[in-house]
Chains A and B, each alone.
Chain A
Amino acid sequence: MKTIADIQAIRDKMKSQIVVRDKDTSDEIRVIVGMATCGISAGARPVFNTLMDEVANRQLKNVKVVRTGCLGMCTLEPIVEVLEPGKEKVTYCRVTPAKAKEIIDRHIVGGNICTQYLINNEE
C-alpha cells in the first residue's frame, strides 16, 4: 500500500518524464539539435541526451529540446540552436556532451551566450 508521500513522489518522478508532451509554445525556449545522418554520426545523440537530462534534472519547464534534420553544414555537426522568443537565434557547432552541459548552465539558465562555441568562430 502506498502512503500520500509515495503518491506525491510518483507524481514528481513521472512529471519530469511526461513534460515532453506539454505543448504550450507561448514563451518556451526551443533547443534544436540537428539529427540527420550527418549529425548523428558526428555524435548528436549523446548531445541530445545530455540536453534532455539537464533540462529534466533542472526542471526547466519552459525549455523544449527537439530534433531537426540536416542544417546543411554537415562538417560543423553536431549543431545546436537556441531559439528564445524575442531574441535572435543562437547557433552552436561541434557540440559535445560537455559543451551541451555548459550551454544549458550558462546560456539557458544564466542568460549568457557561450560565445566560444558559436558558429561565427568558424568563418
Chain B
Amino acid sequence: MFRSHVLVCGGTGCHSNRSEEIIKQFNRQIQACGLEKDVQVVQTGCFGLCAAGPVVIIYPEGAFYSHVKIEDVEELVSEHLVKGRIVERLLHKDEEDEPNKLKALSETNFYKKQTRVALRNCGVINPENIDEYIAYDGYQALIKALTEMTPQGVIDELLKSGLRGRGGAGFPTGRKWQFTKDAPGDIKYVACNADEGDPGAFMDRSVLEGDPHAVLEAMTIAGYAVGAQQGYIYIRAEYPIAVERLRVAIGQAREYGLLGKNILGTGFNFDIDIRLGAGAFVCGEETALMTSIEGHRGEPRPRPPFPAVKGLFGKPTLLNNVETYANIAQIILKGADWFAQMGTEKSKGIKVFALGGKINNTGLVEIPMGTPLRQVIEDIGGGIPNGKKFKAAQTGGPSGGCIPAELIDIPIEYESLLSIGSMMGSGGLIVMDEEKCMVDIAKFFLEFTVDESCGKCTACRIGTKRLYEMLCKVTDGKATMEDLDKMEQLCYYIKENSLCGLGQSAPNPVLSTLKYFRDEYVAHVRDKICPAGVCKSLIRYKIDPTKCVGCTLCARNCPANAIRGTVKQPHVIDNDLCVKCGACESRCKFKAIYKEGGKK
C-alpha cells in the first residue's frame, strides 16, 4: 500500500507546461531514493487553477505546490517525500497569506467558494484507472438505476432536480429524456455533444480529461432511461488527450462489463463509440452534429422534427452536453432534492465556468447558479492583474454578449443573462480590462463566425461577412454614424433569417457592445479615436525626444524600418511606414515611446 500519493495535474493546461515530464522525473527520483513501494505518482485531470500550473499535490499532508518546474522535482522528493519536510518556497500562495503557510487545496480563495459536482473527480483521481473512479462511488448510480429504479423513475428524478442543459440553451434535461423515451421506435440513440467550440471554453475538455467515466456512466443511465442500446460521443479531434482518455475509459468499462452486452448481469445492453469531429464550430449545433456523425458534411437542418423524435439515422436520439452528463450520476445517487437546493428558483444546481482573459486565477470554477458575477471575478478569480480596472465580461462565446462593469452584481443564471442580452452559453467567461477595445472584441468574434458559418443560409453566410466589413470600417476610422444604424439593422436581419443557433446568435457580440459601449463606437466613428488604444489605424507611436537617448535599439528592431535617427540623437517614427506592431515600445528601456490614441 502506498503511504504517500503525489498527484500531478495532467490537464491540457499543465500538460503543455510539461507536466508529463514532471511525472517522469518524479518516478525517476522516487526510484533513485528507493521509495517506489511507498509513494504513488498519479496523473490526474484538471485541478481547475490553470494559472498556477503545473500543479502538484502531495498527500497525506495535502501540500499544494504550484508552478512546479522539472528542476524542482528533485528537491520535492528529497525534502518532502524522504525527509517529510514541506518545501515552503513552492507552496501555492494567495496574496494576503502569511508566507509559506501549509494550506489545503480546499482552503485557498480559489476553491473556498466553489461547489464541485461536475468537476468532483477532476484533480482527485487518475482518469485512466477505473478502480479509482469506482472508489469514489463511481458506477454506483448506474447500479442503483439498473437495480432499484424504473426508466421512468430515473427521468422523474431528473425532472424533479430541475437540471437544465449545460451546453448553452438551458433546456430542461428531464423533459428531453422524457420526449426521447416517449417517442415511438424500437431503435434509439444516446449522444454526447463534446464538440466544445466556443473560444475560451474548456470545461467539457477538462471533464473528459479528468473524469471520463462520469460521462460514460451517465450515458449508460440515459440509455437505460430512454431505451437505447448505442451511444455516441462526438468529440473534436483537436482534443487529443481527452480522446485518448475516453478510449482508455471505454476499454476499461467494457472489460468490467459496464458497457456491452448484459451489463453487470442485469440483462441491459449498451455500448458507446467515439466519433471524431474535424473542429467545425457549427457541429456543436445539434442537428449539424448528428449529420456529421452520420458521415455527411456538418450542416444543420430545420427543427422540428427535433432529435428526440427524429435524430441520428432518423431514429429518436437523446443529445446532451458533457457537463450535463457529468451531473447525472450525482443526482441519481444523492437525489433530486440535494441538487435542487443549490442555485436559484429557475436555474438549479451548479455550473462550471472557464475563467479566462485578464484575470489572475485563470482556470475552471464551479459555482452555484445565481452567484454574483462580482464574486466570481473578485473573490474566486482573484481580480484583474496589474491593478487594472474591470471593463466587461464576455459570456457565451461568439453567441453571447458582454456584461459591462456597471452590471457586475448581476447573479449568474440563465434568465438574468438573457435579460441583459448575453447568455449562459457553455460557460466561457472572458474577463476584459480597460485596455480592451470593445469594437475590436466584437470584430474578433465576428471574424470567428464568418469563418465558421457553414454557408447554408444566405443571411448568415453573407450577412456575417458584411457585418464584419462594417466593423472593420469602424476600427479603421472610416465609418459614418449611419453605418452604426445599418449595422444594427443587419444584426436583426441575420438573427431572424438564419436556420440554426450559429446565425441566430452570431450578431450578439455586436448588439451587446453597441448597447453597452455605444460611446466607444461613436468615438471611433466621429472622433476617429480608439479610447483603449487598440485599433491600429487610429493610434500612432511617438518618441518623446526628452526621454530618447538615441540608443538605436528601437530602430534596429523595427520590422518596417520606420524609425530614423542617428546614434545618441532622439529618434523619430515615420508614421507612413509604421505598421504599429509595438515592437519599439516593448523594447525601449527608457519608456520614451508611447501610444497616442490618435487623431488623424
Interface residues of A (CB under 8 A from B): 1-4, 6-7, 10-11, 14-18, 20-21, 23, 25, 33-37, 48-49, 52-53, 56, 64-69
Contacts and interface: CB of A to CB of B under 8 A. Distances in A.
A23 B104 contact: yes
B3 A49 contact: yes
A33 B124 CA distance: 25
Given A4-B265, A11-B137, A18-B5, 7 more contacts: A1-B257, A2-B256, A4-B147, A7-B258, A11-B134, A21-B59, A34-B84
B61 interface: yes
Contact of A4 (B85, B260, B264): B264
Nearest to A12: B135
Contact of A69 (B85, B125, B134): B85
Contacts of A37: 83
Given A2-B257, A4-B147, A37-B83, A21 B134 contact: no
8 contacts: A2-B256, A2-B264, A10-B134, A11-B140, A16-B1, A23-B106, A66-B84, A67-B84
Contacts of A49: 3
Interface in B214-270: 256-258, 260, 262, 264-265
Contacts of A68: 84-85
A15 B386 CA distance: 44
B62 interface: yes
B151 to A, nearest CB: 19
A65 to B, nearest CB: 7
Contacts of A16: 1
- Determine the main DSSP class of A at the interface with B: helix
B60 interface: yes
Contacts of A6: 256
Contacts of B135: 10-11, 14-15, 17-18
Nearest to B257: A1
B353 interface: no
A14 B132 contact: yes
A64 B140 CA distance: 27
A79 to B, nearest CB: 12
Interface string B481-499: 0000000000000000000
B7 interface: yes
Nearest to A10: B134
B183 interface: no
A89 B134 CA distance: 37
B2 A17 contact: yes
A9 B124 CA distance: 21
A69 B2 contact: no
A19 to B, nearest CB: 9
A65 B264 CA distance: 37
A24 B348 CA distance: 27
With most chain A CB atoms within 10 A of its CB, the pick from B2, B60, B125 is B60
Contacts of B59: 20-21, 23
Contact of A66 (B2, B61, B136, B140): B61
A31 to B, nearest CB: 10
Nearest to A23: B62
A7 B143 contact: yes
B132 A18 contact: yes
Contact of B60 (A3, A10, A20, A36): A20
Given A14-B135, A35-B83, A64-B60, A1 B265 contact: yes
A56 B1 CA distance: 10
A15 B262 CA distance: 27
B220 to A, nearest CB: 13
A36 B132 contact: no
B132 A69 contact: no
Interface string B62-95: 1000000000000000000001110000000000
Nearest to A51: B3
A36 B84 contact: yes
B169 to A, nearest CB: 35
B114 interface: no
A107 to B, nearest CB: 19
Contacts of B1: 16-17, 52-53, 56
A41 to B, nearest CB: 12
B441 interface: no
A116 to B, nearest CB: 26
A73 to B, nearest CB: 16
A69 B83 contact: yes
Contacts of A4: 143, 147, 264-265
B139 interface: yes
B4 interface: yes
A69 B85 CA distance: 5
Given A20-B59, A23-B104, A7 B139 contact: yes
Contacts of A65: 3, 60
Nearest to B126: A18
A99 B135 CA distance: 32
B131 interface: yes
Contacts of A3: 257, 264-265
Nearest to A53: B1
B439 to A, nearest CB: 47
A34 B106 CA distance: 26
B41 to A, nearest CB: 13
Contacts of A2: 256-258, 264
Contacts of A35: 83-84
Interface string B1-41: 11111010000000000000000000000000000000000
Given A4-B143, A4-B147, A21-B124, A66 B60 contact: yes
A37 B33 CA distance: 13
A48 B256 CA distance: 35
A118 to B, nearest CB: 22
Nearest to B135: A14
B405 interface: no
Given A15-B135, A23-B105, A7 B256 contact: yes
